[in-house]
A and B are shown apart, each in its own frame.
Chain A
Amino acid sequence: MEALVVNKDEILGLAEDLREATGYIDVIKLANEVGIDVYATSGGPEFNAEISYENNGFSILVNEDHVETRRRFSIAHELGHYVLDRDLLLKHGTLDRSNVYQDTDEKKREQQADTLAAEILMPAAAVKSFVADKGLGKQSRFESETLADMADCFRVSRPMAITRLRKLGFTIPYIEFA
């Protein structure tokens, strides 16, 4: 399958289209739309996912034993690498993550992929709309149930929902929700 060359805005647009069409973002369908095959495997607790380029095609391998929210984030993270680190993937076939977080560039790449994954799974406009529907604002106090509802709505983990809200400028106190 020939993968499309997409930038950050384009993949976010595709994600938004999927969300509007089906009510949520199926990250596997999103990867397929970009032209990336997704494979599932039983890979042990340490393995999350990886993206690779071989035989002129990109593919993502994900650990099917993980819970749904973690699988979704792992795939979105690899999509982040596809968008942000495509040149490295084309050059090396895969990303060398043997020294995770020891190399500054590597750490930066991982953080950028995490950030893009969060944007894919929880688009800013959709999050703001969800918060507005609940009658809340940037300085509002978020109840635990609201955060749980949001996590369910976007099919992400609660810590991820909290991190994304903080990134978007909402006040989520650390003392209550570490």
Chain B
Amino acid sequence: MEHKTPHKRRVTSEDDLKAWAAEDDYQRKKLVMDCLTWAAVVVIAGAAALLVYEIWTNAMIRTTLVNTIVNNIVGIIIAVFAILGLRPRS
């Protein structure tokens, strides 16, 4: 027959083929999910970076933000410790 294939793998039972089909299917789905996850990470990181850049380049917002942090530094520190303290321990 004219058909020739470069890649082949030996099978010893029909269960091999079924197992491989299931594994191939899982790997395909995992690849898609990984791609989607990384795409989401890139989009979110980009949006966050853009937001930080916009805030930092806007003098009025920056001043307001810095003042807010300085004025509430004690509350922020307490909140951070409270959040860390509430984290579940493994």
Contact = CB atoms under 8 A, between A and B. Distances in A.
Interface of A: 26-29, 32, 37-44, 46-47, 50, 61-62, 64, 68, 71-72, 94-95, 97-98
Contact of A39 (B2, B3, B8): B8
B2 A28 contact: no
Given A64-B21, A68-B18, A46 B12 contact: no
Given A26-B14, A64-B21, A68-B18, A39 B9 contact: yes
> At the interface, is chain A mostly helix, strand, loop or mixed?
mixed
B49 interface: no
Contacts of B3: 43-44, 46-47, 50
Nearest to A29: B13
Interface residues of B, number: 18
Contacts of B12: 28-29, 32, 38
A95 B8 CA distance: 20
A98 B1 contact: yes
A103 to B, nearest CB: 14
A47 B3 CA distance: 7
Contacts of A40: 8-11, 16-17, 20
Contacts of A68: 14, 17-18
Given A50-B1, A50-B3, A39 B14 contact: no
B11 A28 contact: yes
A28 B7 contact: no
